[in-house]
Amino acid sequence: MLHPILFRLGPIGVPTHDFFVGMGVTAALGVFLWQLRGRGPVDERVWGVVAGALAGGALLARFGTWAQHLSPAANAGLAQQWLYGSRSILSGLVGAYVGALIAKRVTGMKISTGDLFAAPVALGMAVGRIGCLLTELPGTPTGGSWGVTLTPADAALVPHGVAGVPLHPSFVYEIVFQLAAFVVLLRLRDRFAQPGALFAGYLMAYAVFRFLVEFVRGNEIAAWGLTRPQWFLLACAPLAVWAAVRRVRRGGFALAEAAA
């Protein structure tokens, strides 16, 4: 069953998606704070980086889906997009990354902070995707017994909704991926020789996973059998490959030597 409204506070309905996004951000911040324990004095500038990442992620998550058509006139106005436009996890991640870089430049922070964000981001996305699972089209039809079947009432709530047909629970796939990533990222903390390798590895793994899961997500096909998120990932691929090659050449993914 789809639940656009999770619960009510008097006359005010609390949207399911927004609630779980908020819970995801809270969980991510909790893990981030937990990771800082035992690391000695905390550079106060890290909070500026956190603020920059949150602001950048919020802005691009909403505006990242604005330019869906080549003609600007066919897209929503910026105010309408902010109030009613859909969100994008991918553009939100890009926005968070850019926001963190800008904040580091403003505050003068030089050290890499990406690894501190890796596990929190994975957990936050796992929690946030619960809201997607409860409010959006699950995926494309599947013959598997694990498929989610929408009722006519549920199908009427989502674009391209199909009633009575088992559908891929694509958001469950992503929740499982993110939870597994969260566990692995925690186990690999401080294991790489160079800072930033953990976060870079997570982003590459998620990009590959997201490209593949898009084939069963049920998103609108944009061109040549691929969805807009897939085209976005393909556009980013050359930069990602270039960055990965540079990191490998510098030994960025080498494991640190164990302490004696």
Domain ranges of the chain: 5-190
**What amino acid is encoded at 215 in this protein?**
F
* Residue whose C-alpha is closest to residue 92's, from 59, 116, 115, 114: 59
Predicted local confidence at residue 180, as pLDDT: 96
Q: Please tell me whether residue 12 adopts helix, strand or coil conformation.
A: strand
Distance separating alpha carbons of residues 95 and 82, to the nearest angstrom: 15
**What amino acid is encoded at 67 in this protein?**
A
Predicted local confidence at residue 203, as pLDDT: 86
Predicted local confidence at residue 80, as pLDDT: 55
Predicted local confidence at residue 259, as pLDDT: 40
pLDDT < 50 regions, the chain: 66, 70, 81-83, 253-255, 258-260
CB atoms within 10 A of CB 142: 17
Write out the two tokens for 164: 């009575």
Q: What is the pTM of this model?
A: 0.81
Distance separating alpha carbons of residues 87 and 65, to the nearest angstrom: 7
